[in-house]
Chain A
């Protein structure tokens, strides 16, 4: 079960500068654990006290996971997971 994870500039220190990496899992939590196994330090940047960091947004195929189960959001083979820092609009 491989998904493509898009990594924002600010977190690429953990992926050797790579913009996107592959990861495995059927939930977002599993994908993040798999990311951590290959790119140490990422999990601590993304997850605080068991939920997503306040200023981190994660989308599975462009849908915000906070409205799809959060860390338990399901992912399937071929999905794109996009990680972005929270920025202002307006």
Chain B
């Protein structure tokens, strides 16, 4: 174990663990990057720290400032910890259909939460945050969806860590939200290992979340670069839950629900490699642990019941 001067210095450097029981064969292996081992328990500590440090360097952030951010949860929690330690205020705009643990954690850290309507999902949170930014020009919106430091944290951190631990990597699979992880890690890996496959797992929610008034309210993060990806899967709640439970039962990893969606895509590409008789080392991201989702009932009762309870919730 290493020693760090403060919690903020302990971001990154997470373990990559093999999954011998879930891997389809000796030639096609799965590896999990345990991002829940970051200080606030999710991969978001990486982009948050880099976005803050970049804003401090450029002079946008100085002590006493208030940070504003649209977030479905993990980014907000990471920001709340960093803001507390660095002396910033924090206002999070969060859709009302996120888990109660996320709300309680943010409040425990002293963040202010502005809720956006459930219908329309994070699109509405982004729109509301942009309005607030106009009304409060002194607040600093780091804006994870368009901030190059988000992808930069993965280009300089997560990507090199994975390649160092798994030089034989053939596939990288991660969740698609802000697109920062996939674009950052993907860009790095493709530069270092042309031919590596970069696969996105995108959550498919209940209908409520897609309840936009018109298509032009749709949203594609400014960071998104489709040229970095080689494939993209849409994974529904049922499959995400099924894989989340499988990961716990078979390999002992207690992960959050988005990780189940990522594992679902990872297993799909692994099975394709098996079918083609290829060797593959598939690394995927465990974005967070399951603690923040216990209240959703994700781990209790039948899969159908759990999927039904999750309908309309933002679980990634």
The chain A residues found within 8 Å of chain B, CB to CB, are: 8-10, 45, 53-57, 59, 62-64, 66-67, 82, 84-90
Contact for B178 among A54, A86, A89, CB less than 8 A? A89
> Is residue B184 contacting chain A, with contact meaning CB distance below 8 A?
no
Grouping DSSP codes into helix (H, G, I), strand (E, B) and loop, the B interface class, with mixed when no group exceeds half, is: mixed
Inter-subunit contact B232/A86 (CB<8 Å): no
Residues of the A chain whose Cβ atoms lie less than 8 Å from the Cβ of B231: 63-64, 67
* Between-chain CB contacts (< 8 Å), 12 pairs: A56-B215, A59-B233, A63-B231, A63-B234, A67-B230, A85-B218, A86-B218, A87-B121, A87-B205, A88-B177, A89-B203, A90-B75
CA distance A67 to B70 in the complex (A): 29
Contact for A62 among B120, B211, B234, B316, CB less than 8 A? B234
| Given A59-B234, A62-B234, A64-B233: A88 and B221 interface contact (C-beta under 8 Å) | yes
CA distance A57 to B71 in the complex (A): 22
Residues of the A chain whose Cβ atoms lie less than 8 Å from the Cβ of B131: none
CA distance A53 to B214 in the complex (A): 12
Contact stretch, chosen from B122-130, B244-252, B273-281, B297-305: B122-130
CA distance A8 to B119 in the complex (A): 13
CA distance A21 to B130 in the complex (A): 37
Contact for B219 among A53, A67, A84, A88, CB less than 8 A? A88
Inter-subunit contact A89/B177 (CB<8 Å): yes
A21 to chain B, nearest CB (A): 16
Residues of the A chain whose Cβ atoms lie less than 8 Å from the Cβ of B226: 66
**How many contacts A-B (CB < 8 Å)?**
100
Other 7 A-B pairs with CB < 8 A, given A88-B123, A88-B219 = A9-B211, A54-B218, A59-B233, A64-B231, A85-B210, A85-B215, A90-B75
Residues of the A chain whose Cβ atoms lie less than 8 Å from the Cβ of B120: 87
Find the residue from A9, A64, A67, A88 having the highest chain B CB count within 10 A: A88
Inter-subunit contact A88/B125 (CB<8 Å): yes
Inter-subunit contact B212/A88 (CB<8 Å): no
Grouping DSSP codes into helix (H, G, I), strand (E, B) and loop, the A interface class, with mixed when no group exceeds half, is: mixed
> Is residue B209 contacting chain A, with contact meaning CB distance below 8 A?
yes
Residues of the A chain whose Cβ atoms lie less than 8 Å from the Cβ of B202: 64, 89
Inter-subunit contact A45/B215 (CB<8 Å): yes
B219 to chain A, nearest CB (A): 5
Inter-subunit contact B210/A90 (CB<8 Å): no
CA distance A49 to B57 in the complex (A): 43
Residues of the A chain whose Cβ atoms lie less than 8 Å from the Cβ of B219: 55, 86-88
CA distance A90 to B221 in the complex (A): 10
Contact for A88 among B145, B232, B236, CB less than 8 A? B145
Residues of the B chain whose Cβ atoms lie less than 8 Å from the Cβ of A63: 231-234
| Chain B residue nearest in CB terms to A67 | B231
> Is residue B229 contacting chain A, with contact meaning CB distance below 8 A?
yes
> Is residue B144 contacting chain A, with contact meaning CB distance below 8 A?
yes
B41 to chain A, nearest CB (A): 16
Residues of the A chain whose Cβ atoms lie less than 8 Å from the Cβ of B234: 57, 59, 62-64, 82, 84
CA distance A55 to B120 in the complex (A): 13
CA distance A19 to B175 in the complex (A): 27
CA distance A54 to B217 in the complex (A): 11
> Is residue B289 contacting chain A, with contact meaning CB distance below 8 A?
no
CA distance A62 to B316 in the complex (A): 17
Residues of the A chain whose Cβ atoms lie less than 8 Å from the Cβ of B294: none
Residues of the B chain whose Cβ atoms lie less than 8 Å from the Cβ of A88: 70, 121-123, 125-126, 145, 177-178, 219, 221
